[in-house]
A and B are shown apart, each in its own frame.
Chain A
């Protein structure tokens, strides 16, 4: 009976109809989505540290603990050393400083498998490979975060719950707005000296206010990944191409044909490149050339030609900007080492840039480790919202 009264409570005397609707809908929607929001936030917060935990578990091979350093080991040296062991290097990742080892991916020519090793940044000696795998645990976290291990139904459950969460954030902010000047102060502070129910209320109210913007952003970027219509709306609002559907198929035909034409040009070039004789290209010279074209401190990836892609590609991820983790520039070379193309992140359209960084925007990786920590804290606060919300409601029952 009390439960029914609480769920269908009457409007209070001085309460406006708008606030009454917001308050009741906040309760209903909160109860409806509480478990899913809690699980999704918790699993998301856990997953955000995947790289860091994996690196910590493999600390001895990932990080270079020696204090004295001379020069960087040349990529050509690494390539030759690996080839002596019948391992063909496919990719190398040079860190931005000597605190980490160089990661080298290879194809074993004798046993026919792909693998990786870390090598010392100065000597080029093999240090080892990731022995401790965290893959299974984090795969589980990701699946829970995306679909609660319930496949397609889970995807929709998560999507709907996050949509509800967005509504809750907005209705929560409306409910947070103090009705008079005296109450303004209360909205910004947690009164730790008060009794427990008041502290719980403050935790819900005040922390909700402080995290509102970031949680709204994380939720929307999450919905962007889950729902085509959200993605389409965001991409179109940034001036990009909408998702193809029955109503826009004719209008988008020529645009998609242009996309195909550009890929065809690239594929033709690839085929011509494949036909070319393999010549000995100095990776050291390619690195020097790319550093002249992109003269900044960066994490540098050297991609060697493969059966599918007969080009050398050097990718640099700038470490000087605020968006340290994921803003890449590329330099492309032919099979003969001739410069082909410089592809700058800043030259892409805003919509393409957004698409490229949408996942790091959702995970906080866009801001590096500090971003991940910030997102973790905010997500844990989001995790506490259903708990404190239910406690507030239960007390009122």
Chain B
């Protein structure tokens, strides 16, 4: 009986003391592993990552303390800070490393389940969309985002289902764009989106 009580107490202590692991945002340790940094670069890299994390932490604390904590503000701090951090990292990296950093951050930017704004702008420019087409293209992308977010109640917590919804709505998006673009433009579009073919593949739900 004594053993049982001790076991129950230990389990309670374990549950109450465990901290939730896993940071929100971009995994800079993973990025570091991919960059093959020199010794000198490692020191600079670590210093920037630490400094940026502290800055973000401070900004979140300030936002909390001011009572103005909201998701929009949170995302704004994250995105602005990550962009600034990217610029600082680019300053001492080789061209090859710069591309890797840019792609990694674009890929892992929090709250980004659709194609990046950079790619969407490239589509408008490369396909030379006229103003009417641009308005429709933006509306189709907005419909995609809304439909995907609206289905969140269905796929919440289920990565596999989230992935399927993403792909289904992306097919609907393609069908809608086919009606807006010319045949050549649509072929160009399909080529361009290959750059971010990873979108929708690993949705967390």
Contacts and interface: CB of A to CB of B under 8 A. Distances in A.
Interface stretch (B90-98, B138-146, B194-202): B138-146
Interface string B159-184: 01100110011001101100000000
Given A228-B156, A228-B161, A260-B144, A35 B139 contact: no
Contacts of B20: 143, 147, 149-151, 154
A275 B154 contact: no
Contacts of A36: 15
B139 A260 contact: no
Interface in A252-273: 252-253, 256-257, 259-261, 263-264, 266-268, 270-271
Nearest to B163: A244
Given A228-B156, A243-B154, A267 B11 contact: no
Contact of A267 (B72, B146, B164): B146
A70 to B, nearest CB: 30
B143 A135 contact: no
Interface in A282-328: none
A114 B70 contact: yes
A23 interface: no
B1 A3 contact: yes
Nearest to A159: B157
Interface stretch (A93-101, A126-134, A184-192, A202-210): A126-134
A267 B18 CA distance: 45
A238 interface: no
B136 interface: yes
Given A228-B156, A264-B143, A149 B18 contact: yes
Interface in B48-80: 64, 66-70, 72-73
A154 B18 CA distance: 10
A48 interface: no
A204 B169 CA distance: 51
A241 interface: yes
A64 interface: no
A178 interface: no
Contact of B173 (A129, A149, A231, A260): A260
A266 B146 contact: yes
Main SS of chain A's interface residues?
Answer: helix
B72 A114 contact: yes
A256 B168 contact: yes
Interface in B1-56: 1, 4, 8, 11-12, 15-16, 18-22
Contacts of B172: 256-257, 260-261
B22 A151 contact: yes
Please classify the interface of chain B as helix (H, G, I), strand (E, B), loop, or mixed, using the class held by over half of its residues. Answer: helix
Contacts of B140: 264, 267
B161 A270 contact: no
A171 to B, nearest CB: 22
Contacts of B144: 260, 263
Given A114-B70, A135-B64, A256-B172, A267 B139 contact: yes
Counting chain B CB atoms within 10 Å of each CB, which of A39, A130, A149 scores highest? A149
A394 B2 CA distance: 11
A80 interface: no
Interface string A102-122: 000000000001111000000
A245 interface: yes
B15 A267 contact: no
Give the most central of B1, B72, B164, B165: most A CB within 10 Å. Answer: B164
A49 B163 CA distance: 36
> By CB atoms of chain B within 10 A, which of A39, A130, A244, A257 has the most?
A244
A226 interface: yes
B15 A256 contact: no
Contacts of B18: 148-150
B121 interface: no
B158 interface: yes
B169 A260 contact: yes
A384 interface: no
A249 interface: yes
Given A130-B67, A266-B146, 8 more contacts: A39-B12, A149-B18, A155-B157, A227-B157, A241-B154, A244-B154, A244-B165, A252-B168
- Enumerate the 4 nearest inter-chain pairs by beta-carbon distance, A residue then B residue, closest first: A260-B172, A264-B143, A267-B139, A228-B158
